[in-house]
Amino acid sequence: MSYKNSEGYVDPTAGAAMAATTKEEQNVEKLNHKVIQSFRLLVDLAGFEIVGRVTLKHKKSGRIFK
C-alpha cells in the first residue's frame, strides 16, 4: 500500500520516509526488549531481583522506556 498525502495523491517520498521511521522505531522496540531480558537474566544470575521500575532512555532517539 502506498502513502497518500492529505489531498489523496500518492506521495512516494513521504511514504519512504514514513516507512524508514516506522522501521527504526520497531528496531528500537526490539532492542529495548532484548536489553530488558538480558538485564533480568543478569540480575537473576547475580542473586538479586528487581523490586522497582527500571527506566531506560535511548540515546539516539531520546525515547524513554518505563
24-64 pLDDT, tens digit each: 889 999 999 999 999 999 999 999 999 999 899 999 989 99
Q: What is the pLDDT of residue 42?
A: 96
Is 29 within a domain? yes
pTM over 0.85: no
Cell digits of residue 17: 520516509
Q: Which domain holds residue 55?
A: 12-65
Is 17 within a domain? yes
Nearest to 32 by CA among 4, 62, 65: 65
Is 30 within a domain? yes
Region 10-37: mean pLDDT is 90
Counted domains in the chain: 1
Is 47 within a domain? yes
Is 58 within a domain? yes
User: What residues pair up with 56 in beta bridges, in sequence order?
Assistant: 65
Residue type, 28: V
State how far the Cα of 10 lies from the Cα of 1, in Å rounded to an integer.
10
Is 2 within a domain? no
Is 32 within a domain? yes
